[in-house]
Amino acid sequence: MLFTPLKIKSITIKNRIMMSPMCQYSADTDGLANNWHFVHYVTRAIGGVGLIMMEATAVESRGRITDNDLGLWNDEQIEPLKKIVDECKKHGATVGIQLAHAGRKSEVTDETPVAPSAMNWSDEYKLPHELTKDEIKDITIKFKDAAKRALKAGFDIIEIHAAHGYLIHEFLSPLSNKRNDEYGGTVDNRVRILKEVIKSVKEVWPNDKPIFVRVSADDYINGGIDIDEMAKILSHIKDQDVDLIDVSTGGLLNAKIDLYPGYQVKYSERIKKDPGFMTAAVGLITRAEMAEQLLKDGKADLIALGRELLRNPYWPLYAAHDLKEDIKWPKQYERGKFRV
């Protein structure tokens, strides 16, 4: 199954291997993609990755995690990304982009971070400005504007980043959202910004192109989000035509997490069943046999690899050999193809 295509709306991903979005912290302060990003992403396309999900890309300058993050807050940032997308597609990859806002976890030098509530992530981080309702509306528009630019750059999929303690996750979790207005308190209120961001993006994103949402299904802290709470949260976006949930965990606070191969898969499995979405599973998945079994057992629809693809950009070629699957290699590399 790992090398079976997956069709989502008008997009067909050639296999079930997804490159998880991983920040490179390699842009200049203008947020522009450069030669590092070109080589980094195109290499994974040559290596056979089915879906390359580009790293967290900020919808505004203060929404970056660091001074060196990618951005899509102005039109100058479109062309360098388009160059990468076009080249990746030449090698058969589907290319998505994760639109993001760092919220209170922004470490940008000359910007004041923003958050649902005036609570910093830790003593080492700046105290964020608590967003007004008008400012929240403005941020949803910035997601829409970034989606419009992503379309011009040729991306196939948009992923909305609602995980890892960044802005939307900060609204979703009661540990970081202490608001008393319609954006805080109940699940209905805390999920409001996510619903508004999805709605705003869909105003400019074609109906036949997929939208993913990345979530942290467990805060690993009492009083925070757990899998039952996340199921409730996702039930609120069930009717918004979101195509897939990219299921991760953690990041809201510095929690202790028990790490082991596939430690997050159970969350993907649950979300596939209830509230019932296609999912991507991630979390120390390194072996082809494990990835194959997760798909066969119906625990995910895509297998997202992070660190493993940093170590080995040609992992799909090795995986095909391990699974005795004969896949097409780049013609320039055919002399290196494994012999059966």
For residue range 178-217, list pLDDT tens digits in order: 999 999 999 999 999 999 999 999 999 999 999 999 999 9
Per DSSP, the three-state class of 29 is coil
Q: 335: how many CB neighbours lie within 10 A of its CB? A: 7
Q: Is residue 340 part of a domain?
A: no
Q: How many domains does the structure of the chain reveal? A: 1
- Do residues 94 and 13 lie in contact, with contact meaning Cβ atoms separated by under 8 Å? yes
Picking from 113, 115, 94, the residue whose alpha carbon sits closest to that of residue 8 is 94
Alpha-carbon span 157 to 11, nearest angstrom:
8
CATH number of the domain that residue 111 is part of: 3.20.20.70
What domain range is 62 assigned to?
Answer: 6-326
Q: Is residue 183 part of a domain?
A: yes
Write out pLDDT tens, residues 69-117. 999 999 999 999 999 999 999 999 999 999 999 999 999 999 999 999 9
Alpha-carbon span 56 to 71, nearest angstrom:
8
| 53 phi and psi angles, rounded to 5 deg | -100, 110
Alpha-carbon span 232 to 220, nearest angstrom:
17
Residue whose entry in the numeric block shows the structure tokens 């760092």: 102
pTM (2 decimals)?
A: 0.96
pLDDT of residue 339: 81
Q: Is residue 60 part of a domain?
A: yes
Q: Is residue 58 part of a domain?
A: yes
Residues in the chain, pLDDT under 70: 340
Q: Is residue 335 part of a domain?
A: no
Picking from 24, 8, 27, the residue whose alpha carbon sits closest to that of residue 16 is 8
Question: Using CB atoms within 10 A of its CB, is residue 88 exposed (0-12), middle (13-18) or buried (19+)?
Answer: buried
Length reported for the chain: 340
Secondary structure, 3-state, 45-80: HHCCCCEEEEEEEECCHHHCCCCCCCECCCHHHHHH
C-alpha gyration radius of the chain: 19
Q: Is residue 331 part of a domain?
A: no
Q: Is residue 336 part of a domain?
A: no
Beta strands in the chain (DSSP E): 6-8, 11-13, 17-19, 51-58, 94-100, 114-115, 129-130, 157-162, 211-216, 244-248, 278-281, 302-305
Which residue type is seen at 153?
Answer: A
Alpha-carbon span 185 to 171, nearest angstrom:
10
pLDDT of residue 340: 67
Q: Is residue 221 part of a domain?
A: yes
Q: Which two tokens stand for residue 183?
A: 């954006």
